[in-house]
Amino acid sequence: MKLMERFRLAHLTLRNRIVSTAHSEQLAVNGLITPHLEGYHLRRARGGAGLIIAFGSASVSATAANRFNPALWDPENEPALRRMADAAHAEGTPLIAQATHRGAREVIADPDQEHVAPSGGAGFLPSGTPRVLNKEDIASLVRDYADVARRLHRCGWDGIEVTAYGTHLLEQFWSPVLNRRDDAYGGSPENRLRFGSEVLRAVRDAVSGDFVVALRMSLDTRTRRLGLSRDDLLDIAGHYDELGVVDLFDVVGSSSVTADGAVGTVPTADYPRGVYRELAARARSRLRAPVLVAGRVLDAEQAEDVVTSGDADLVGMTRAMIAEPRLAAQIHAGTAELARPCISINEGCRRVGASLTLACSVNPEVAHPELAETPLPVDPAGAGRTVIVGAGPAGIEVARVLGRSGLAVVVLEQDDSVGGGIGYALLADPHQVRQYRRWAERALSEHGVEVRLGTRATPSVVASPTLERVVFAGGSSPALPPWLESAHYEVRTDADYLAGAWEPAHDSDVVVYDPEGYSAGSVIALRLARATDRKVTLVTPLGSAGGQVETPNRIRLTKGLLRSAVRVLPYTELIRTDDSKLFLRNVVTKDTTELDAGSTVLGCGYRSPDEEQLVSLRAACPHADWHVVGDASSPGLIRHAVTGGSRLAHDILRRLGTG
């Protein structure tokens, strides 16, 4: 495979063309690199990545101190930087740091700091009106970039990635809309590019030739609000290429000047796979320096196609490697089918947008390093037999982790396929969800786990005296509150609809009540409104539809709802029903209104564990060690189920190991 061939990048020889691109991990504490952050990237290096670009949006300047990303200006980080470089090199992976100043887009933690920008009045950036950078500020920032390059080089790092992407300060300078200066840094295209030129030259001059200088930039901002066309952006790339100081162009699309554009910087599942390849191909045909592209490249075949087609020299598989840090090594070994697929749901990783630490729905080790992929040493012979009831995300994870340590495990699943609640990951990529099911089957079989599909756990099945432990991961069932029931209109649940057990009549209006705020209410409302011209009303006590969904997918849902005929009533709770009416109360104003119930009320998010089954099974096998996990314990997100499953399995193994 060309993907796995070596690649010469400036002075470096990469062992393959797979790159982990920069992503803000939010794992630093007060700007300092933590062991958690060090270990996180080390796993990618161990997993065979060709190149790691660490630290999304790490700050070059004390004037822009987002404390959750590493402060690259802070000398206190040097010991950790050295350890990271040494560890990655020992595994054969070069390490580059993304370094930036976000200007008016900075997330500032320090109350004494201010937002800065090329010009004032850049009011549509989230920060309001920033202070205008003067010439001394600009010179000082250029020095900051150079100092950071020197620090990285001194600590053994292989390069720096200067970034404009996401409407960071460089892009703010390029934009004739945001940059209205009349000095040497504004006005003509050449002037607007000057700050970037000075930064790139300064980092190049600060270090010797054995240091990669990469530039990350969007080649299609997908908005008119920056005043930068696709051709302008290609010319900007061409300009910096001609300076001869850039070793690698990291090409992407979109921008962060609008909420919708920000979604495209970490594209959600509704974006096409390989969404920015075409931009990379444009860049590659124009630029001398090699080109890297990222954006929904999710598996080996796709990545191979990117490099063999000539669209790019290197390919980012960032979320693919958040989900499976061993991906490159598995592709190399010809075992890519054992790579745990990213399901493109953004549920865990996009927490960082709310300054929460990085997590992953399918890979619990991202947020919980103690739930490591290394098998814990136990004596399988003395561990006894384990039965797991339910092959949803939690059951799969318990079975996989126990099976990996050699325990005898049987999984009972009443459906005819594994996956359970993963089927309700409505914002995920359906193709990736199918891949996840396949991966789970293979992983379980690889670890010798016996999966009995189409087998409902009954008391007689678990009533075995030789059974050591039972893990009940039977999921949850819809459970509407009694007051929502009424004889005069139909009341259904999201689960009824999603399981295909119920579809409203074509002429029937529907009120979707979504007190939960995850994806189900909005997605179902959209589907119902799309199917016919029935009236669909979405009622939620939260401030917006899908109010609990992470920002990019919430924007995706909001966009869909605004373009649809669904009537959304935010900040509204359903307080009571009678024969024909729903009584609503605005949670802010306390005003009450009535709504004709229409033909159907659909309640979303009401679920409770299936206790009846658990009680009957437990009674049949009282001697076994019983555990309840996943939705059967507390209904939640996929991430919660997978993490709960992994944690339980690790606890069992630790007890077996020490007991």
Ligand X SMILES: Cc1cc2nc3c(=O)[nH]c(=O)nc-3n(C[C@H](O)[C@H](O)[C@H](O)COP(=O)(O)O)c2cc1C
Give contact residues for ligand SF4 (rule: CB under 6 A). Answer: 319, 322-323, 342-349, 360-362
Tokens matching residue 251: 């090409």
Cβ at position 515, least distance to ligand SF4 in Å: 25
Q: Which is nearer to ligand X, 33 or 349 (CB)?
A: 349
Q: Which is nearer to ligand SF4, 347 or 413 (CB)?
A: 347
- Residue 328 Cα distances to 89, 129, 188, angstroms: 16, 45, 44
Q: Are 632 and 611 in contact (CB under 8 A)?
A: no
Listed residue (583, 577, 590, 594) closest to 490, CA to CA: 577
Ramachandran area for residue 343 (φ above 0: left; ψ -120 to 50: alpha; else beta): alpha
Q: Which is nearer to ligand SF4, 40 or 145 (CB)?
A: 40
Residue 294 contact partner, candidates ligand SF4, ligand X, none, CB within 5 to 8 A by sort of partner: ligand X
Q: Which is nearer to ligand SF4, 262 or 360 (CB)?
A: 360
Cβ at position 250, least distance to ligand X in Å: 8
Q: Which is nearer to ligand X, 330 or 613 (CB)?
A: 330
Residue 295 contact partner, candidates ligand X, ligand SF4, none, CB within 5 to 8 A by sort of partner: ligand X
Residue 633 contact partner, candidates ligand SF4, ligand X, none, CB within 5 to 8 A by sort of partner: none
What CA–CA distance (Å, rounded) separates 576 from 3?
Answer: 60
Q: Which is nearer to ligand X, 297 or 451 (CB)?
A: 297
Residue 24 contact partner, candidates ligand X, ligand SF4, none, CB within 5 to 8 A by sort of partner: ligand X
What CA–CA distance (Å, rounded) separates 238 from 310?
Answer: 19
Residue 362 contact partner, candidates ligand SF4, ligand X, none, CB within 5 to 8 A by sort of partner: ligand SF4
Cβ at position 429, least distance to ligand X in Å: 11
Q: Which is nearer to ligand X, 359 or 525 (CB)?
A: 359
**In the chain, what is the straight-line distance between the N-terminal and C-terminal CA atoms, in Å?**
47
What CA–CA distance (Å, rounded) separates 185 from 193?
Answer: 7
Cβ at position 393, least distance to ligand SF4 in Å: 11
Residue 340 contact partner, candidates ligand X, ligand SF4, none, CB within 5 to 8 A by sort of partner: none
Cβ at position 319, least distance to ligand X in Å: 3
Q: Which is nearer to ligand X, 22 or 512 (CB)?
A: 22
Cβ at position 210, least distance to ligand X in Å: 24
Cβ at position 292, least distance to ligand X in Å: 10
Residue 57 contact partner, candidates ligand SF4, ligand X, none, CB within 5 to 8 A by sort of partner: ligand X
Cβ at position 67, least distance to ligand X in Å: 15
* β-sheet bridge partners, residue 628: 472
- Residue 274 Cα distances to 56, 296, 299, 306, 361, angstroms: 20, 5, 10, 8, 21
Binding site for ligand X (CB under 6 A): 21-24, 56-57, 98, 163, 165, 216, 252, 265-266, 294-297, 316-320, 349-350, 352, 358
CA 159 to chain CA mean position, Å: 25
Listed residue (366, 313, 405) closest to 23, CA to CA: 366
Place of tokens 């109360």: 585
Listed residue (125, 522, 550) closest to 353, CA to CA: 550
Q: For the sheet with 567-569, list strands across it.
A: 490-493, 600-603, 510-513, 536-539, 567-569
Listed residue (270, 274, 269, 346) closest to 303, CA to CA: 274
